[in-house]
Amino acid sequence: MLPDTFKLPRRAMAIFAHPDDVDFGASGTLAAWADRGVHITYCLVTSGQKGTHDATMSATKLARIREREQMAAGAVVGAKEFVFLRRQDGETEVSMRLRGEVCKAIRIHRPDVVLTQDPWRAYQLHPDHRVAGWSGLDGVIAARDHLFFPEQLKRGLTQHRVTRVYLFGTSDPNIWFDITGTLDRKIKAISSHTSQVADPVRLAERMRAFAASNGRVWGLEAAEAFRAIELA
Ligand SMILES: [Zn+2]
């Protein structure tokens, strides 16, 4: 349930490191928004090319499989568009080039709200999660003024102002969304990443317990927790 006072964005973009990150972190919330007409775009920094223990699997083949899985998961949630930046899994770096690509995706898809991974999360070990978060935030700042990446504006794009950011995978949340009505879809979305799921029953149990622990503080059956940052 969303409170009446909550102003839904018209368009939202999730920027994240690997296929499945958004499904663990934010898909229950995004499914509820999609049901209310929010246009949702996913921007993936890598295609999860190294996420396998199968010695016969190649990175190129796995990238294709995982992009398809992310699109299937996105269809469950109601995401409409997918941007694949195709950086190498596990090898991402914060760079002006990556910032420019994220900035361009924001200028093309024009989200009011951006969701990305919390790069300040304490003890965040995975470099790609940190890089996706920094690039998402830095891309938001770059997108809004015409002197950042001006070459993009010569090709018909215009600058674009995101008004709010939600960080997921955060250890310091300040907003919680009730996902009681969309938890089953969240679990279905996560389960769409079949190359990554060894035990779907155990995964569903884990996700229900995680959602319940997020909701407990507000007496909700199931929730997702975010750090919201206002930019307007
Ligand atoms: Zn990840």
User: Using one digit for the tens of pLDDT, what is the confidence trace for 67-125?
Assistant: 999 999 999 999 999 999 999 999 999 999 999 999 999 999 999 999 999 999 999 99
Which pLDDT belongs to residue 6?
Answer: 80
Per-domain residue ranges for the chain?
Answer: 11-230
Q: Which residues contact 125 (CB under 8 A, 6 or more apart)?
A: none
Q: What pTM did the predictor assign? A: 0.96
175-178 and 223-230 as β-strands: parallel, antiparallel, unpaired? antiparallel
Ligand 1 centroid to Cα of residue 214, in Å, is 20
- Fold category of 11-230 in CATH: Rossmann fold (3.40.50)
Ligand 1 centroid to Cα of residue 48, in Å, is 8
Q: Coil, strand or helix: which one is 54?
A: coil
Which pLDDT belongs to residue 3?
Answer: 64
Cβ-contact 178, 222 below 8 angstroms: yes
Ligand 1 centroid to Cα of residue 151, in Å, is 31
Burial 106-145 (b: 16+ CB within 10 A, else e): bbbbbbbbbbbbbbebeebeeebbbbbbbbbbbbbebbbe
Ligand 1 centroid to Cα of residue 22, in Å, is 9
Three-class DSSP labels, 16-42: ECCCCHHHHHCHHHHHHHHHCCCEEEE
Which pLDDT belongs to residue 89?
Answer: 96
User: Using one digit for the tens of pLDDT, what is the confidence trace for 27-65?
Assistant: 999 999 999 999 999 999 999 999 899 999 999 999 999
Which pLDDT belongs to residue 225?
Answer: 98
Ligand 1 centroid to Cα of residue 24, in Å, is 9
Average pLDDT rounded to a whole number, residues 153-157: 91
Cβ-contact 139, 123 below 8 angstroms: no
Which residues are found with C-beta within 5 Å of the ion, ligand 1?
Answer: 17-18, 21
